[in-house]
Chains A and B, each alone.
Chain A
């Protein structure tokens, strides 16, 4: 209380003018190519997104060490949208119009992507989105390097049905658009395969749900009819730990009722005591345990960059790896970072992925990837038990939903539409006329 009011007053005024000056000051024009990184570093999503920010910083550092891009150095611009969805839009605008970045790598949740979408479309930016998502979208300005439902959910269900002989299904998810869509697609798919209504149980829980006693007990009852039952889990992030703990404690092992998850990767497992989880499954396009040279290099580089020998890698990191390299290649191909040119150049660009193959950017702005199914091991890693024979191309509009099965996406001329209805021959959404 002893600080004099006068001094405080001066301090406040001083800071205010300082800040006010800085808003108008134009970022110094230098000879670098700016890359925006739009991942939450605080708030609820920091848990997942901070790693992706670090991944991008590593990739940019490596690229710079190898001579940069078009003879210039890359300069990362990191902002924190703080897990606040409107702030994502604001920060995207800041990156594009104030910092003039050439591309944005970012977002995790669907809602944050939906929030940013109008901004990147308006300002004609480039956004590389690295997380598995629900599909039903294809924007001229967004490149979806994570899995579409047909690159994760459908193969996983096929595996359970054909290899494990599962006949009863629990579709459990967090109540938001990704699980809703995935479950809708899966429900249609399962019914198409002759699964009866009574053999499908659908359950939604709120974000961060922590008391799973009743639901796990219901699943246990649902699964004790003598018919092989499995849980397809689209449970998000934080809710997983209490969910798996409850499964273990109520004595449901992977042999009784296997759980296949689409949002549980190595990083999530590093926060869980994995002993009771051995044998539960996850479907991804990449596992840290994959045996390939590229992967080994990537892991070594990551561990030395983050200065932690125990840090793990995961699927969205690989998606950024693919997305960043595609962008670099497309810029080199186009000879400029102009978004319009890059959008055109990037279609068809193929770069090595970490599982030993080549991933290519498709005309619908999704990429080709292998689908792997792994079982959780005691050390928190996955052991691959099944994989697709080749690469699967991401499908923006699911063939299993009545409203979207007639819609295709192709951003090449002459169609140049992300939302083209082949029946009515009309383009809606972004290029609506």
Chain B
């Protein structure tokens, strides 16, 4: 009931969810029920691509939740995304079974290759889907909780917080690059075969993943919207705008920050888990600090503190990337760079800011 009330007041959200629903229904239909020579046909390539964008959009929503509403510019959300991805990757790895290159029923190829004789402890349980899905949320959540607990308690704020989140993802990247870690080193995890028994190469599995991504994005959006319109969310905005005042008013600033930060990390982890089966690889490059900066840029391009703006930004920038890397391979970085500069200078409220009738005070 409350949800409906929340949605009623959220025009942008209504449009966004409607569009999402439309895509989630029309795209699979056009893919399945039109032939390749039909101008309206959507190829499986495009479906997989859109699925990837949707996973990114969910990630952007997660970042917008902490940046737009809590004022924490996290340059380390890529880490949570990648951890969720790795958890999913580990499940997919275990599903390969003896179809691997060396035919070992238990060990993934890279372990056979590095002469590991048994499965490391942290790989146990990942053959079960429910456990892997639990880890997709638990691992990023716990990391965010511990990190946030330390950081917020000692009142690390602003630029300092941004830089140490960056240090966090950088350290994780270096760690995952190490082959001794047991996550496949630089190559990461790849060559997945199937998920829950369905082959990843089947069109139907792709469509299912695409729909799942759309669903996760919708639910993620609703959950975030619910949070920001709740009492918790209003305190969060108060913290964003004047942290000390909120603290002196008697709110437990640390608790609010910690709760929202952890939730956002879990969301990022889920996005990562949806991303991996659709692109077919997860490797330490996802932890790269530059990736995390890029996520922030999607949010900025779309429009901060709107949630749907973040999702739209992720879709736009990634679509632009796909398009320009093929159409203008030599100069696309100029276009991308210029886009970031222009958006920050001329569109401080992002592209969505252009379309909002009136700037509401959020």
A and B in direct contact, judged by CB atoms within 8 A: yes
Q: Which of A5, A42, A94, A403 contacts B326 (CB 8 A)?
A: A94
> A1: nearest residue on chain B (CB-CB)?
B346
Q: Is the CB of A19 within 8 A of B319?
A: yes
Which residues, 98 to 129 on B, are CB-close (under 8 Å) to A? 98-103, 110, 112-114
CB distance from A101 to the nearest CB of B (A): 12
> A5: nearest residue on chain B (CB-CB)?
B354
CB distance from B338 to the nearest CB of A (A): 13
A114 CA to B113 CA in the complex, in Å?
Answer: 15
Q: Is the CB of A42 within 8 A of B333?
A: yes
Q: State whether the Cβ of A400 lies closer than 8 Å to any Cβ in chain B.
A: no
Residues of A within 8 A of B316 (CB): 16
Residues of B within 8 A of A175 (CB): 177-179, 185-186
Q: State whether the Cβ of A177 lies closer than 8 Å to any Cβ in chain B.
A: yes
Q: Is the CB of B186 within 8 A of A97?
A: no
Q: Is the CB of A111 within 8 A of B100?
A: no
Residues of A within 8 A of B330 (CB): 41, 80
Q: 1/0 contact trace for B162-191 toward A, CB 8 Å?
A: 000000000000100111000001111011
Q: 1/0 contact trace for A409-433 toward B, CB 8 Å?
A: 0000000000101000010110010
Knowing A79-B325, A91-B325, A176-B187, say if A432 contacts B99 (CB, 8 Å): yes
Q: State whether the Cβ of B347 lies closer than 8 Å to any Cβ in chain A.
A: yes
A204 CA to B326 CA in the complex, in Å?
Answer: 36
Q: Is the CB of B188 within 8 A of A111?
A: yes
Q: Is the CB of B186 within 8 A of A89?
A: no
Residues of A within 8 A of B347 (CB): 8
Q: Is the CB of A428 within 8 A of B98?
A: yes
Q: Which of B332, B346, B351, B355 contacts A42 (CB 8 A)?
A: B332
CB distance from A68 to the nearest CB of B (A): 23
Q: Is the CB of B280 within 8 A of A111?
A: no
Which residues, 303 to 340 on B, are CB-close (under 8 Å) to A? 316, 319-320, 322-323, 325-326, 329-330, 332-333
Q: State whether the Cβ of A30 lies closer than 8 Å to any Cβ in chain B.
A: no
CB distance from A17 to the nearest CB of B (A): 12
Q: State whether the Cβ of B43 lies closer than 8 Å to any Cβ in chain A.
A: yes
Residues of A within 8 A of B101 (CB): 136-137, 419, 428-429
Q: Is the CB of A12 within 8 A of B186?
A: no
Residues of B within 8 A of A180 (CB): 114, 179, 185
Q: Report which residue of A80, A117, A421 has the largest number of chain B beta carbons within 10 angstroms of its beta carbon.
A: A80
Q: State whether the Cβ of B40 lies closer than 8 Å to any Cβ in chain A.
A: yes
Residues of B within 8 A of A23 (CB): 46, 319, 323
Q: Is the CB of A12 within 8 A of B351?
A: yes
A327 CA to B143 CA in the complex, in Å?
Answer: 50
A206 CA to B179 CA in the complex, in Å?
Answer: 11
Knowing A118-B192, A419-B101, say if A177 contacts B186 (CB, 8 Å): yes
Q: 1/0 contact trace for A106-124 toward B, CB 8 Å?
A: 0000110011011100100
Residues of B within 8 A of A122 (CB): 201
Q: Is the CB of B285 within 8 A of A85?
A: yes
A41 CA to B174 CA in the complex, in Å?
Answer: 24
A112 CA to B46 CA in the complex, in Å?
Answer: 21
Residues of A within 8 A of B100 (CB): 428-429
Residues of A within 8 A of B48 (CB): 90, 93
Knowing A26-B39, A80-B332, say if A94 contacts B45 (CB, 8 Å): yes
Which residues, 68 to 93 on A, are CB-close (under 8 Å) to B? 78-82, 84-87, 89-91, 93
Q: Is the CB of A89 within 8 A of B280?
A: yes
Q: State whether the Cβ of B21 lies closer than 8 Å to any Cβ in chain A.
A: no
Knowing A9-B354, A93-B45, A98-B43, say if A115 contacts B190 (CB, 8 Å): yes
Q: State whether the Cβ of B264 lies closer than 8 Å to any Cβ in chain A.
A: no
Q: 1/0 contact trace for B47-65 toward A, CB 8 Å?
A: 0110010000000000000
> B288: nearest residue on chain A (CB-CB)?
A84
CB distance from A112 to the nearest CB of B (A): 10
A86 CA to B320 CA in the complex, in Å?
Answer: 16
Q: State whether the Cβ of A24 lies closer than 8 Å to any Cβ in chain B.
A: yes
Q: State whether the Cβ of B31 lies closer than 8 Å to any Cβ in chain A.
A: no
CB distance from A176 to the nearest CB of B (A): 4
Q: State whether the Cβ of A385 lies closer than 8 Å to any Cβ in chain B.
A: no
Q: Is the CB of A114 within 8 A of B190?
A: yes
Residues of B within 8 A of A42 (CB): 332-333
A91 CA to B154 CA in the complex, in Å?
Answer: 45
Residues of A within 8 A of B354 (CB): 5, 8-9, 12
Q: Is the CB of B281 within 8 A of A115?
A: yes
CB distance from A79 to the nearest CB of B (A): 5
A234 CA to B47 CA in the complex, in Å?
Answer: 40
A19 CA to B335 CA in the complex, in Å?
Answer: 14
CB distance from B56 to the nearest CB of A (A): 11
Q: State whether the Cβ of B44 lies closer than 8 Å to any Cβ in chain A.
A: yes
A404 CA to B103 CA in the complex, in Å?
Answer: 11
CB distance from A243 to the nearest CB of B (A): 18
Q: Is the CB of A176 within 8 A of B332?
A: no
Residues of A within 8 A of B37 (CB): 26
Q: Is the CB of A181 within 8 A of B187?
A: no
Q: State whether the Cβ of B283 lies closer than 8 Å to any Cβ in chain A.
A: yes
Q: Which of A19, A94, A114 contacts B320 (CB 8 A)?
A: A19
Q: State whether the Cβ of B134 lies closer than 8 Å to any Cβ in chain A.
A: no
A404 CA to B102 CA in the complex, in Å?
Answer: 8
CB distance from A432 to the nearest CB of B (A): 5
Q: Report which residue of B43, B110, B326, B332 has the largest number of chain A beta carbons within 10 angstroms of its beta carbon.
A: B326
CB distance from B52 to the nearest CB of A (A): 7
A41 CA to B330 CA in the complex, in Å?
Answer: 7
Residues of A within 8 A of B345 (CB): 1
Residues of A within 8 A of B187 (CB): 110-111, 114, 176-177
Residues of A within 8 A of B190 (CB): 114-115, 117-118
Q: State whether the Cβ of A22 lies closer than 8 Å to any Cβ in chain B.
A: yes
CB distance from B198 to the nearest CB of A (A): 14
Q: Is the CB of B186 within 8 A of A176?
A: yes
Q: Is the CB of A86 within 8 A of B281?
A: yes
Residues of A within 8 A of B52 (CB): 90
Q: State whether the Cβ of B279 lies closer than 8 Å to any Cβ in chain A.
A: yes
CB distance from B181 to the nearest CB of A (A): 11
Identify 13 new A-B residue pairs, CB closer than 8 A, beyond the known A5-B354, A24-B42, A432-B98.
A3-B346, A8-B347, A23-B323, A80-B330, A87-B325, A94-B326, A97-B43, A118-B192, A175-B186, A177-B185, A180-B179, A428-B103, A429-B101
Question: What are 23 A-to-B residue pairs whose CB atoms are below 8 Å?
Answer: A1-B346, A8-B347, A8-B354, A12-B354, A16-B316, A19-B319, A23-B323, A24-B39, A79-B325, A80-B329, A82-B325, A84-B285, A85-B285, A87-B325, A89-B281, A91-B326, A98-B45, A110-B187, A177-B185, A403-B102, A419-B101, A421-B103, A428-B99
A-B residue pairs, 3 tightest by C-beta: A80-B329, A176-B186, A428-B103
**Which positions in A face B, CB cutoff 8 Å?**
1, 3, 5, 8-9, 12, 16, 19, 22-24, 26, 41-42, 78-82, 84-87, 89-91, 93-94, 97-98, 110-111, 114-115, 117-119, 122, 136-137, 175-177, 180-181, 204, 206-207, 403-404, 419, 421, 426, 428-429, 432
